Amino acid sequence: MKIARFSLAHEGNNPRGISAEVAASVGAENYREIMGSAYAPDGRCIGDVVIGLNEKGDLRVLVTTDGDGEGDHGIAVYPERAGPLAIEVIEDADDFPCPTRPADSPRVR
């Protein structure tokens, strides 16, 4: 399932001309997720979000960073967790799916 690319707007405005598309990401029987991608006017993917579950079954939203929608996800958000505990920074994508927190975080693993 896919929603074709469309122009985003906030209060009717989109000064940067950013567009988005949404799709169900189904990887065989192992993964069933929703993916949203944002694009610059030149067609570059500048942001990517995946909504799914982690290995424990917790709701997780993965987000790319640095304006690189084709890159590895840099942040994991857990909407069911309380406030500051909801965000984890993924320091090394090679270690994914085991995100860690920044050294100055009070929640370092």
By 3-state DSSP, what share of the chain in percent is helix, strand and coil, each rounded to 5? 5, 45, 50
42: Cβ contacts below 8 Å, ≥ 6 apart: none
Number of domains in the chain: 1
Q: What is the pLDDT of residues 39-82, one digit of tens each?
A: 999 999 999 999 999 999 999 999 999 898 888 899 999 999 99
Q: How confident is the model at residue 99 (pLDDT cuts 50, 70, 90)?
A: very low
Count Cα neighbours of 70 within 13 Å in the Cβ-side half-sphere: 5
Residue 91 confidence (pLDDT): 78
Residue 106 within any structural domain of the chain = no
Q: Is residue 14 part of a domain?
A: yes
Residue 61 lies in a domain: yes
More confident position, 38 or 92: 38
Half-sphere exposure of 62 (CA within 13 A, CB side): 22
State the residue range of the domain holding 73: 2-95
